[in-house]
Structure formats: C-alpha cells, structure tokens
Homo-oligomer: A and B are copies of this chain.
Amino acid sequence: MEKDGEMTSQTHYEWNYRLRFQDADAAGILFYARLFDIFHDAYVCFLEELGRPLWKSIETSDTMIPLVHAEADYLSPLRFGDPIKVAIGVKRLGKKSFTLQYSVNRQEDGRMAATGETVHVAVDRENFQSVILPKGLQQALGRFHT
C-alpha cells in the first residue's frame, strides 16, 4: 500500500484505492471483511499524514490503541478493479477514545458504495487497561474533528 491520500478540507482525509484481485470472494464481489482491511489501510495512511505513523508508535509507545468496535454498511457491490475513494473523518474525540467514520465513493461517478465506523481506545500495552490518549495524537485528530 502506497500513501496516496490528501487532506481535502479541514475535516476529511481522502485516500485512493483500487479493488484487488483477491478482495473478491466466490460470489465475485468485494468480500465484506476486506472492507475493514481497506478502512485500516486508509487509517494507517491517515496516521502517517498526521505525523504519527503507526509503525513507529507500536514500537516505541507504552500505549496501544486497539479497536473496540467496528461497523460497516454496504450500499452497492464493488468488484475487482473498481477505483474508490475512502474519506476518513473524526466523528468523536474523547479523552481515552475516539470514533472515526468512513465513506467509500466510486471515483468514476462519486456514487457512495459503503460507509463505516471504528472506535479506538487507548490502553496500556502491558495490562490493556484504559488510559489517556497520547497528547500529540489527540491534538492531531482534533484538526479533523467536525
């Protein structure tokens, strides 16, 4: 996955993707679980854009930020080769957790194909107890809080 995103406004990060050959399932459309892979790929690029790449923080930080909830709605079937745009926004920004929202639109006509949400909670790496979000991350996310 290459970083290929941009800030389109104060409130959204946009990331481009083309459906992979192996994203399809035996019914010939996007396997539903792969949408969550795509959300996460966009999230990783979003964090990099925020100056807080996940590959650094999972090595150096005492805080992990696992997902505690995820959901998606599938509006129209996506197929191998379809180019899409994934927009991420910060729906809720708390002291110990935050909620991201995603919308997936076809690049060709802008038609919405899916939406989703993920909830992320800061925890201590050792005991998985809830802790305060790292200050830098909270400030960075704040710029995208609608």
Residues on A lying within 8 angstroms of B by beta carbon are: 1-4, 16-18, 20-29, 31-34, 36-37, 39-41, 44, 53-56, 58, 64, 66-77, 79-82, 118, 128
**Closest Cβ–Cβ distance, residue A140 to chain B (whole Å):** 18
**Closest Cβ–Cβ distance, residue A47 to chain B (whole Å):** 10
**Closest Cβ–Cβ distance, residue A100 to chain B (whole Å):** 12
List the number of copies, as a whole number.
Answer: 4
Known A22-B25, A32-B36; 15 more pairs at CB < 8 Å = A1-B1, A1-B17, A21-B25, A21-B40, A26-B79, A26-B81, A29-B66, A32-B66, A32-B70, A32-B118, A33-B39, A33-B40, A67-B74, A69-B71, A69-B74
